[in-house]
Amino acid sequence: MIQSQKVEYNDGNNVLEGYYAYDDTIVEKMPLVLVAHDWSGLNEFACAKADKLAELGYVGFALDMYGKGKHGNTKEEKSALMAPLIQDRNKLQNRILSAFDAAKKIDQVSTSHIGAIGFCFGGLCVLDLARSGADVKGVVSFHGLLHAPENKAKHVIQSKVLVLHGFDDPMVTMEHVIAFGQEMTHANVDWQLNMYGNAMHAFTNPQANDPGFGTVYNKKADVRSWIAMKKFFKEVFET
């Protein structure tokens, strides 16, 4: 049976609240997969992904990038929450590393088998987790932002990387994709890119329906990208 609970943790003086789920019929330690939310904050979508990861035999941990109870409803509110972390990637990396450290303490977790997935803004977060040099086996970005931090010390990326990208995403241009590929190649990373035709930003979110803004759900891309993620984690966790 899938069990779930919320857990508080800290990044300095900032109190954060994550959500994790696992299958209590599995007695051995399980791989951990972090889930980084989109720009709205920790929400039902991210927690549902943690539940789905638990069904796959992982501990799914939906992390919190903004602080306990902090959510954005309008585009303006979401942007105001995201902007300080986008502008200070050291702060962003420290914030997701605090979740990484907290989640490793969960009793059911195999600390040698850790991965992460992220959606939109969360895609950038998990890529930055890899860029931080954290001991993570693999990260997956779903329609995530790809641009590298500027003026920041580079670390050896230990993680394998999978990027799942919509060809028609107006927020991540082909120039961004090429620059990302060059960054990963120059860093000698084992990386992959799956690109989905007729897919825009937020293609995994059934609530996304704003063509003018560039966020539209695409069921085919949603299904195909989740299958790609499952195959990726079977490879990196060797399960």
**Domain edges within the chain:** 2-237
pLDDT (mean) for 182-194: 97
| Structure-token pair, residue 23 | 């299958």
Question: What is the per-residue pLDDT for 154?
Answer: 81
**Per-residue pLDDT at 233:** 98
Do the beta carbons of residue 168 and residue 145 sit within 8 Å?
no
Q: How confident is the model at residue 109, as a pLDDT? A: 98
Average pLDDT over residues 22-27: 96
How does strand 160-166 pair with strand 191-196?
Answer: parallel
Asked if the model's pLDDT at residue 2 lies above 80, the reply is yes
- Quick one: pLDDT at residue 182? 97
Task: Look at the block and give the residue holding tokens 């966790």.
Answer: 237
Q: Is pLDDT at 235 greater than 90 in this prediction?
A: yes
DSSP letter for 120, please. T
Q: Is 141 helix (H, G, I), strand (E, B) or coil?
A: strand
Over the range 147-156, which residues count as b (16 or more CB within 10 Å of their CB) and which as e? ebbeeeeeee
Query: pLDDT digit string (tens) for 190-215?
Result: 999 999 999 999 999 999 999 999 99
Distance of CA 143 to the CA centre of its chain: 10
Closest CA to 61 of 130, 111, 1, 124: 111
Topology given in CATH for the domain delimited by 2-237: Rossmann fold (3.40.50)
| Bridge partner list, 65 | none
Query: The tokens of 129 are what?
Result: 């987790």
69-100 pLDDT per residue, tens = 999 999 999 999 999 999 999 999 999 999 99
- Looking at residues 52-68, what average pLDDT do you find? 98
Task: Encode pLDDT of 111-167 as tens digits.
Answer: 999 999 999 999 999 999 999 999 999 999 999 999 999 867 689 999 999 999 999
Mean pLDDT (the chain) is 96
pLDDT at 112: 96
Supply the pLDDT for residue 225.
98
Please give the average per-residue pLDDT across 1-26, as a whole number. Answer: 97
